Amino acid sequence: MLPIITEEMSSEIFTEAFQDVQAWRKNMVQYMKEENPEVNSAILEVAKHDENIDLKAVALGAYLSYRMLELATENDTLTIES
């Protein structure tokens, strides 16, 4: 089961990402290449199948979702350990 993403968590990630979207996305590309290259490859494959899809927009949405799930998972782990 996936962890619950709260409004506070999504706001935290949005604030982090939207300070400088291009720099954040580039940092996430590097992070994902190291952290989970299979997911990164899947994100990039999506845009290759349809020329009308904006690769940067797809990647941004996917990376935002990944970070929110990552943060929610960390929060769940901390809650369980407490």
Span 55-80, pLDDT tens digits: 888 889 999 999 999 999 998 876 66
Domain positions in the chain are 7-81
Rounded CA-CA distance 73/35 in Å is 15
Please indicate whether residue 53 or residue 12 has the higher confidence score (pLDDT). Answer: 12
Mean pLDDT along residues 20-26: 95
pLDDT of 13: 96
pTM given for the model:
0.85
Q: Which two tokens stand for residue 5?
A: 């993403």
In the predicted structure, residue 82 carries a pLDDT above the cut 70: no
